[in-house]
Amino acid sequence: MKQFQKTLVIQCHEQGFNDFTRALKMEVHQANFDGGLLNLFTQDVGCSLSIQEKNGPGNRQKMEIMTGHQATEAHAKADLHEVDLHDHTRMAMTTPSLTIPIQNGRPVLGTWQAVCLYEHHSHAKTRHIFLHIVGN
């Protein structure tokens, strides 16, 4: 059994879902695992991780409504604690980590599944995702 660890750097260009499936598949391929488990983790409460439907803007919009993205944040800008509360509410409804099986050297994802970083802030950010693979 072997292990592989790396930090992925993801540039989020906007609030909401940022698909990084292609970059993730490339990292798993380069790590050269036939099978195992892939764990992804973000240490920042300003973003979270999610598996979403590819090319599903309607589904993404519904998720953003449910987590408060389309509610105005203008009133919260005056008080940093209120901004934090808005982000923390989003984090409470999502997750900082994902575990995905690896089979035949690839993450096991459904045809329409995309691995996304869910950016909680309304401005661009650089995020770091810790990647850990255990397997053979």
Within 8 A by CB and 6+ apart from 30, the residues are none
Name the residue range of residue 117's domain: 2-135
- Other CB atoms within a 10 A radius of the CB of residue 79 amount to 10
Question: What count of Cα atoms within 13 Å lies in the side-chain half-sphere of residue 20?
Answer: 25
**Number of domains composing the chain:** 1
Question: Is the Cβ–Cβ distance between 90 and 120 less than 8 Å?
Answer: yes
Burial letters 67-76, b for 16+ CB under 10 A, else e = bebeeebeeb
List pLDDT tens digits, range 106-136.
999 999 999 999 988 877 789 999 999 999 9
As a dihedral over the C-alpha atoms of residue 127, residue 24, residue 86, residue 71, rounded to 10 degrees, the angle is 120
DSSP reduced 3-state for 58: helix
Instruction: Yes or no: say if 16 and 123 are a contact pair by the CB < 8 Å rule.
Output: no
The C-alpha torsion from 21 through 24 and 29 to 34, rounded to 10°, is -90
pLDDT digits (tens, 9 = 90+) for 20-57: 999 999 999 999 999 999 999 999 888 999 998 887 66
pLDDT tier, 83 (very low <50, low <70, confident <90, very high otherwise): low
CB 100 within 8 A of CB 40: yes
Instruction: Give residue-wise pLDDT tens across range 58-74.
Output: 666 666 666 565 544 54
CATH label of the domain that carries residue 90: 2.60.120.460
Please state whether the predicted TM-score (pTM) of the whole model is above 0.75: yes
